[in-house]
Amino acid sequence: MKFGIFGINFGPCADPDGAVRVAQLAEQAGFDSVWTGEHVVLPDPRETPSPAHPQTEMLDPAVALSFVAAHTESIRLGTGIVILPQRNPVVLAKEMASVDVLSRGRLMLGVAAGYLHQEFAAIGAPFAERGARTDEAIDVIRALWTQEHPTFEGQFWSFSGIDAQPRPVQQPSPPIVVGGHSAAAHRRAVRQGNGWYGFALDVESTRAGLEGLERAREETTRPDDLGELEISITPPADVSAEDVERYAELGVDRLILLVNGRTVEDTCARISQAAETLVAV
């Protein structure tokens, strides 16, 4: 089992000194990765299903991961997730390739379709098209990252006669991790993802998610060059060593822990405790 830390760009980690302390401690303690969250804006006043208070400080994922990369050596850097249909994928491919170059090949690009209609409205992105745009945007990014002479013809984006430098360090590309709990997200993960990310899932919810992925495998074809689908899960609360075993028995490859406390000191204490009770076991 690999272990990651969620929240390296918000809360206590929105402060630069806090982000450095948390990332360096996680690296020293044996965690394999740190992960950002993303919301460009949040509803004010807070409305269901908004996940956070509107005044929550949340840094841009690419900026935060580049900063963390400069203060760490080996820990992997994940977006958990980028809300892909709110982005221009041509621009995002450039931003994330830059993160991979600056980190010397440590990026994991997690993406999902999003769910807050208020956020889409503020950005000017069409909420009803988010699934189709997410599917196409993944293909756009891969084309820009892997093709010698990038060419793409789609419903929303088309280009030819261009190049996009720098290319990522990781070849053929950084892993693309697909988040989401819907049947469409499961199909997207099987068809286009190197991994699937289930957020805030206990053991039984994880089991249901993996069953959904199995159904998706029956409905869609997985390209051979994507390899095995890596499974990453964020549990909804603290986990015990016994919980880790139960997740592992289901086939989970990585647990990305929620350890953000109210302060940097609290967050670091939680990381140290998890390192002692889980990572070192």
Segment 195-207, tens digit of pLDDT:
999 999 999 999 9
Residues 116, 51: contact at Cβ < 8 Å? no
Q: How far apart are CA 7 and CA 21, in angstroms?
A: 13
The pLDDT, as a whole number, for residue 205 is 98
Query: Nearest CA to 23 among 5, 38, 10?
Result: 5
- pTM higher than 0.95: yes
**Alpha helices by DSSP H, 46-176:** 61-69, 89-102, 117-123, 130-146
Token pair for 141: 């990014």
Q: Give dist(CA 131, CA 118) in Å, integer.
A: 17
Calculate what percentage of the chain has a pLDDT beyond 90: 97
Query: Which among 32, 100, 119 is positioned nearest to 61, based on CA atoms?
Result: 100
The single-letter DSSP state of residue 230 is: E
State the DSSP code for 162: -
In this predicted structure, the answer to whether residue 225 has a pLDDT above a threshold of 90 is: yes
Spell out the domains of the chain, with CATH numbers in brackets: 2-279 (3.20.20.30)
Model confidence band, residue 281 (pLDDT cutoffs 50, 70, 90): confident
Residue 25 has pLDDT above 90, yes or no: yes
- How do 107-112 and 152-153 pair as beta strands? unpaired
Q: How far is CA 159 from CA 19, 50, 98, 193, 211, in A?
A: 38, 35, 20, 23, 38
Q: List, for residues 59-90, the tens digit of each pLDDT value.
A: 999 999 999 999 999 999 999 999 999 999 99
Question: Which residue type is seen at 191?
Answer: R
For 129, the 3-state DSSP assignment is: helix
CA angle 115, 121, 123 (to 5 degrees): 95
Mean pLDDT of 199-221: 97
Q: What is the mean pLDDT of residues 118-126?
A: 97
Degrees, nearest 5: CA angle 180-186-189: 90
Helix (H, G, I), strand (E, B) or coil at 67: helix
Residue type, 108: M
The DSSP call for residue 58 is: B
CB atoms within 10 A of CB 26: 29
